[in-house]
Amino acid sequence: MKLQTQRFIDRWVGQLLCGVVSAWVRVTSVFSRPAEVDAQARNILVILLSEMGSIVLAGPMFAQLRRTYPQAHIHILQLKKNQEVSKLLQLTDPQFMHSLDDSSGGSLIGDIVRISLQMRKLGLDAVIDCELFSRVSALLSFTTGAPVRVGFTPHTQEGLYRGSFINHAIPYNPYQHISKQFLSLVDAMQSAGSTPRNKTAAIRSTPVDTELSVAFSTEELTAYRNKLRSDYPVTQDRKLVLMYAGGGILPERAWPASHYARVAQGLCGQGYSVGLIGLKDDAQLAKDLKTQVGSDACIDLTGYTRSIRELLTLFHASDLLITNDGGPGHFATLTPIQTMVFFGPETGKLYGPLGTRNKVLESGIACSPCLSAYNHRLTFCDGDNQCLKRIAPDPVLNDALAFLRGTSAARVTP
């Protein structure tokens, strides 16, 4: 199903259904006490339908859930296409991973009904809706039958209605990193009844550690490095810098290809090799960049990795990643690689990678960031993303060379 179709249905049908459910809950709960989560909770569902990079940013939240409710089974509901990362990170047992297939309207509705019945039969203690203003995820939190429903509320903001049946709600805060807000959802589970502000929440700093890891044996990493050098002999005597120049589902997040080419030329000229990574859909972009760079030290690695695990192994075999905002920048935090990440339509202050091995690059132009939960991530720049175009390539090249030579200043985190 196309993204715009999903947004249309979520906006119009979703708001209507949220209104109906809110009225039903208001009538049926007049004489009932606010639901609370028992410390001995057995089953908690986390709804996380967003991009795969968000799963890494939610790492501290999952760790806090396990510490707070050590006896609980943590169930995770995701889109089927996003499950690979959760399985790789072993966020929960495979039997507790659930998925929705959004490839068509029929399959999505069928999965919603199936999951709702399955969760009701299981008997959830609580559900955490990590989506910001999605109506379908809010409705799912209700249809699962969980007595405690945790999620974000728009409070008094107009145009973002998603009902009033989230009974442990906190306001979305556009000034706080999303990882910190995910942690607030765990805090809200312990609040006394329904409130738009969890006044008992802990005072927290933005997490530094993702509290996630992927185990690799020395033999696996060595074998992959040898394979890479065999497939691309130019990498044998050169440090490897990876570049992800694609914009994914949001092309406006991409730093200009000509800027990437300029940096790649400079790196190749200084004795480094550059690997252009991405999916098979990025093959033409990589081909064009290789032509612009005009060096044998620039290699096309699009489609070279067949899984997220292989991508992480490639990160282990490389020294630096230069990337647009997206999944690769977050996955890199699970490995030792240094990362430079471009932000513009969105900001590293809210969605920057966690950890100490990354540097966020932003121009600071007045209209940036322009994508938010309030506008459904629809930009007004008509493809002319000046916020990224104004980040000049030469300073980026200098920063990259300084790191590769071991002379870089203190690393910057978002």
Q: Residue ranges per domain, the chain?
A: 3-189, 218-404
Q: Are strands 298-300 and 273-276 parallel, antiparallel or unpaired?
A: parallel
Report whether pLDDT(234) > 70. Answer: yes
The model's pLDDT over 181-209, given as tens digits with 9 standing for 90+, comes to 999 999 888 776 555 555 667 788 999 99
User: Which CATH number applies to 218-404: 3.30.70.270, 3.30.450.20, 3.40.50.300, 3.40.50.2000?
Assistant: 3.40.50.2000
325-330 contacts: CB < 8 A, separation 24 or more?
Answer: 325/253, 325/351, 326/51, 326/53, 326/244, 326/246, 326/247, 326/248, 326/253, 327/51, 327/52, 327/53, 327/248, 328/244, 328/277, 329/53, 329/244, 329/353, 329/358, 330/52, 330/53, 330/56, 330/57, 330/354
Q: What pLDDT band is residue 373 in, cutting at 50, 70 and 90?
A: confident
Among the residue ranges 116-120, 148-152, 199-203, 409-413, the one predicted with the least confidence is 409-413
Residue with the two structure tokens 């994914």:
248
Confidence (pLDDT) at 197? 54
Q: Could you tell me what percent of the chain has a pLDDT over 70?
A: 96
The model's pLDDT over 81-139, given as tens digits with 9 standing for 90+, comes to 999 999 999 999 999 999 999 999 899 999 999 999 999 999 999 999 999 999 999 99
Confidence (pLDDT) at 414? 37
Note the helical H segments in 69-167: 83-89, 105-122, 135-143
**Can you tell me the distance from the alpha carbon of 304 to that of 280, in angstroms, rounded to the nearest whole number?**
9
Yes or no: say if 44 and 124 are a contact pair by the CB < 8 Å rule: yes
User: Which CATH number applies to 3-189: 3.30.1490.20, 3.40.50.2000, 3.10.20.30, 3.50.50.60?
Assistant: 3.40.50.2000
Mean pLDDT for all residues in the chain: 92
Task: Tally Cβ neighbours within 10 Å of residue 151.
Answer: 26
**Can you tell me the distance from the alpha carbon of 307 to that of 106, in angstroms, rounded to the nearest whole number?**
28
> Would the CATH topology of 3-189 be identical to that of 218-404?
yes
Structure tokens at 60: 């501290």
Q: Would you list the DSSP string of 151-193?
A: EEE-TT-TT----S--SEEEE--TTS-HHHHHHHHHHHHTSSS
The model's pLDDT over 274-313, given as tens digits with 9 standing for 90+, comes to 999 998 889 999 999 999 999 999 999 999 999 999 999 9
Average pLDDT of the residues in 365-394 = 91
Confidence (pLDDT) at 194? 52
